[in-house]
C-alpha cells in the first residue's frame, strides 16, 4: 500500500450569507428570465486561494474576521441573474455572466486547475451536488443543463480575473419548481459508497483550528492506488456549512501531478471550520478516466 498523500489547504473562501429569505421566484422561465438575489457582500483579504496559502491565520485572526466573501458581489465584480430550465427533467441551458462595476462582462480570466471557472451547484439541503465547467462566449458562461430534482439551489462561481488577479467566489440562489423531497439526514456521515467504491473520512473538525482530514478509497475491501490526476490534482474537496452554506474549497499543495502519475488510497486535506456545527463535504476524485463524487457530513466541535 502506498503511503498517504498529504495535502494542504489550497484555498479558503468562507462567508456567512443572509439567513433570511432570498426572495427568489418559484421557477426560472425557460425563455431565460433571470432568477437570483444578492447576499451580503464581505470584502476579501487578497490572498491567492489557488497558490496553496490559507487566507487567514486562525491563531492570529478571530474566526468571524477571517470569513471572506461568498456573496453575489465581491472584488468589484458581480454575478448576474442565472437562467436555467423551468423544472426537473427539462433539457436546456444554464447561463450567467460576471460583470464589473460598470456592468460590463468580465471576459479575461486566469486558468486555475486547468479551467478558467469552476461552477459548484448544490441544493440547499446539501444534496444534488455538481462541480462542472461552463464555457465562455460573448461574456456569457453557459453549459447544457437539466435539474435532477426540485428545490432551492446555491450556485458558486469560483474564478480569478486576469485584470486584478483576484481569486473570487460569487454565489446566488435559484429555485426550481416542483414537489420537494428534502434530505433529512442528521449527524455525521463518515462512510459512503460511490460507483462500487467505499470512501471513508477520518479526522475531526474543531471550530477555528486547522485540522487534518484523511479520505481513503477502497474497492471490495482493497485499497485503490490508481487515483488519477483530475484538474491538476488527485482530489478536490468542497466543504459547506449547513444552514447558510458558507463555502470552503481545498486543493492539494505542491507540484501538480505528472501525466500518468497515480496515487492513493488516501488523500488528505487541512480544513478550518469557522464555527461549530455540521458541515457537508464533497470529494471529487478520478479512477479509470471517470470522475466520482463522495459526500460526507461532519460535526465541528466548539473550540
Residue 94: HSE in the Cβ half-sphere, 13 Å Cα cutoff: 24
CA atoms of 269 and 7, how far apart (whole Å): 5
| Cβ atoms 36, 79 nearer than 8 A | yes
Q: Residue written as cell 477520518? A: 202
| Cβ atoms 183, 34 nearer than 8 A | no
Domains of the chain in sequence order: 191-301 (2.60.40.1940)
**What sign for the dihedral angle of Cα 191, 199, 131, 207?**
positive
Give the closest residue to 17 by CA, choosing from 272, 242, 302, 249. 242
Residue 152: HSE in the Cβ half-sphere, 13 Å Cα cutoff: 15
Give the closest residue to 113 by CA, choosing from 213, 250, 217. 250
Residue 226 is classified by DSSP as -
**Ordered per-residue pLDDT tens for the chain, 303 residues:** 444 433 333 333 333 333 333 333 333 333 333 333 333 333 333 334 333 332 323 333 344 434 544 689 999 999 999 999 989 999 999 999 999 999 999 999 999 888 999 999 999 999 999 999 999 999 999 999 999 999 999 999 999 999 999 999 999 999 999 999 999 999 999 999 999 999 999 999 999 998 889 999 999 999 999 999 998 889 999 999 998 899 886 666 546 788 889 999 999 888 989 999 999 999 999 999 999 999 999 999 998
pLDDT at 236: 92
pLDDT at 47: 35
Q: How many CB atoms lie within 10 A of CB 57?
A: 10
SS3 for 131-158 is EECCEEECCEEEEEECCCCCEEEEEEEE
Amino acid at each position: 500500500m502506498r503511503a498517504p498523500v498529504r495535502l494542504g489547504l489550497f484555498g479558503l473562501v468562507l462567508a456567512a450569507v443572509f439567513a433570511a429569505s432570498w426572495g427568489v421566484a418559484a421557477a426560472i422561465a425557460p425563455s431565460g428570465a433571470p432568477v437570483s438575489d444578492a447576499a451580503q457582500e464581505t470584502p476579501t483579504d487578497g490572498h491567492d486561494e489557488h497558490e496553496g496559502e490559507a487566507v487567514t491565520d486562525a491563531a492570529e485572526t478571530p474566526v468571524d474576521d477571517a470569513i471572506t466573501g461568498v456573496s453575489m458581489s465581491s472584488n468589484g465584480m458581480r454575478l448576474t441573474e442565472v437562467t436555467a430550465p423551468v423544472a426537473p427533467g427539462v433539457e436546456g441551458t444554464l447561463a450567467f455572466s460576471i460583470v464589473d462595476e460598470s456592468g460590463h462582462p468580465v471576459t479575461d480570466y486566469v486558468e486555475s486547475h486547468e479551467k478558467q471557472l469552476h461552477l459548484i451547484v448544490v441544493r440547499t439541503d446539501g444534496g444534488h451536488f455538481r462541480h462542472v465547467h461552463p464555457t465562455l462566449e460573448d461574456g456569457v458562461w453557459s453549459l447544457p443543463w437539466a435539474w435532477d430534482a426540485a428545490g432551492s439551489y446555491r450556485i458558486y462561481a469560483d474564478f480569478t480575473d486576469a485584470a486584478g488577479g483576484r481569486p473570487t467566489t460569487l454565489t446566488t440562489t435559484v429555485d426550481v419548481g416542483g414537489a420537494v423531497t428534502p434530505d433529512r439526514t442528521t449527524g455525521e456521515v463518515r462512510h459512503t459508497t460511490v460507483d462500487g467504491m467505499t470512501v471513508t473520512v477520518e479526522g475531526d473538525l474543531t471550530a477555528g483550528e486547522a485540522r487534518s482530514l484523511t479520505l481513503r478509497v477502497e474497492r471490495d475491501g482493497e485499497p485503490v492506488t490508481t487515483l488519477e490526476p483530475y484538474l491538476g490534482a488527485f482530489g478536490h474537496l468542497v466543504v459547506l456549512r449547513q444552514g447558510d452554506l458558507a463555502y470552503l474549497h481545498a486543493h492539494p499543495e505542491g507540484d501538480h501531478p505528472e501525466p500518468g502519475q497515480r496515487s492513493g488510497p488516501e488523500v488528505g486535506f487541512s480544513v478550518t471550520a469557522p464555527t461549530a456545527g455540521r458541515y457537508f463535504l464533497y470529494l471529487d476524485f478520478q479512477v479509470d478516466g471517470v470522475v466520482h463524487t463522495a459526500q460526507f457530513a461532519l460535526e465541528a466541535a466548539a473550540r
